[in-house]
Amino acid sequence: MLITSIIVNDSVNFFTKIFYSYDVWKDFVLPITLAGLAAYMVYWGFIKETQRDKKKELEAEEQRQRDKLYYFSNSVKSIHAISRDQNEANSVFAESQAKNPIEVQQITYLSLNELRRMTSDLPLEEFMLAYANYYGSDRKNAVREFNQIIIRIDMLYEAFKNTKLHYEMTQDLEQNAKSKLMQHFGLVHTLVAIISDSFRKSAPPLAYEIDQIARAFQSEQANPSVEFCYHHFFIPFNKFAVKYISTGLPEKALLQELAIQTRDAKAVFEQMIRENRRLSEDFKNKYNSVKPVIEDLEKHAKRLLDDFS
């Protein structure tokens, strides 16, 4: 026990000397406290800075989402206006074409680039997510509403694209028809000259009759239209050929060829008129079918346009 007591007393005396040989608060407690406080301030600053960065990122992302919706809204608004104007132009064309089916009438065509971009180029999933996030309280209905907008735009783009293709196809058919009519005109003109010259020897009265048809045509118009040629050239010479084709004249083969050429020319002209009238009917029907689609687009996009106009 005596030895243990001596050891304890010596230890206490040793640590007491060490303790009183330093200024504990100055040399130990205060530096540790300051270091801890500094570390805490650094940590606190880091947390605050991180929070500020996250807040800025969230605000920037929200702004990007709003910008997408502003862009989408402007595109939908533009598409609605273009579709309405193009459909009205199609209606005007249909009426004009119906009144004058002799040739394809001029039409006003607006650019479909806005519709094409919406249906083909834009990342629609990103816009749909922005739309659904903005209307988050009604997310399911927002997705449905967005899809209805896109469906209507797809329908409009296909409708206008198809009517334009039909218009261009009918123009090509008309040009081909007019080219064929010019070929028939040249052949008939040559045949009439040959037949008339032959009739002067074999049947002078018939030569006079066929010459009268030719003179009547030439005196009416210097630059005849295809319609004028149809009524005053192909039809009269066809009737003449059919009238005398079975009379046993030596010009029978020539009359047969004249009948064939004028018949074919008439058929080309009449088919051209049918195609032009069909074009008018197609545009009229498309106008009637597209009009409610435009109205539906306006209805489904109302909330978007009200919030981001």
Span 64-95, pLDDT tens digits = 889 999 999 999 999 999 999 999 999 999 99
Output the pTM of the full model.
0.77
* Whether residue 3 has pLDDT greater than 70: no
What pLDDT sits at residue 79? 97
Query: Out of 1-5, 67-71, 139-143, 184-188, which region has the weakest mean confidence (pLDDT)?
Result: 1-5
- Quick one: pLDDT at residue 131? 94
Give strand ranges (E) for the chain. Answer: none
The stretch 253-277 carries a mean pLDDT of: 97
CB 307 within 8 A of CB 131: no
Average pLDDT, the chain: 87
Point out the least confidently predicted range of 170-179, 220-229, 299-308: 220-229
Q: Mind spelling out the 3-state secondary structure of 10-57?
A: HHHHHHHHHHHHCCHHHHHHHHHHHHHHHHHHHHHHHHHHHHHHHHHH
Q: Most distant CA pair in the chain: distance in Å?
A: 171
Looking at the predicted structure, is the pLDDT value of residue 154 above 90?
A: yes
* Model confidence band, residue 258 (pLDDT cutoffs 50, 70, 90): very high
98 vs 54, higher pLDDT: 98
- Among the listed ranges 32-41, 124-133, 173-182, 240-249, which one has the minimum average pLDDT value? 32-41
Between 31-40, 197-206, 282-291, the lowest mean confidence (pLDDT) is in: 31-40
Measured CA to CA, the distance from residue 279 to residue 170 in angstroms comes to 7
Q: Which amino acid is at 210?
A: I
Do residues 76 and 305 lie in contact, with contact meaning Cβ atoms separated by under 8 Å? Answer: yes
pLDDT in tens, 102-131: 999 999 999 999 999 999 888 999 999 999
CB 301 within 8 A of CB 69: no
Q: What is the DSSP letter of 106?
A: P
Rounded Cα distance between 303 and 69, Å, is 12
Per residue in 209-230, pLDDT tens? 999 999 988 876 667 889 999 9
Judged against a pLDDT cut of 80, whether residue 203 lies above it is answered with yes
Residue 291 in this model has a pLDDT that exceeds 70: yes
Alpha carbons 59 and 65: distance in angstroms, whole number: 10
CA angle 95, 96, 102 (to 5 degrees): 120
Reply yes or no on whether the pLDDT at 171 is more than 90.
yes
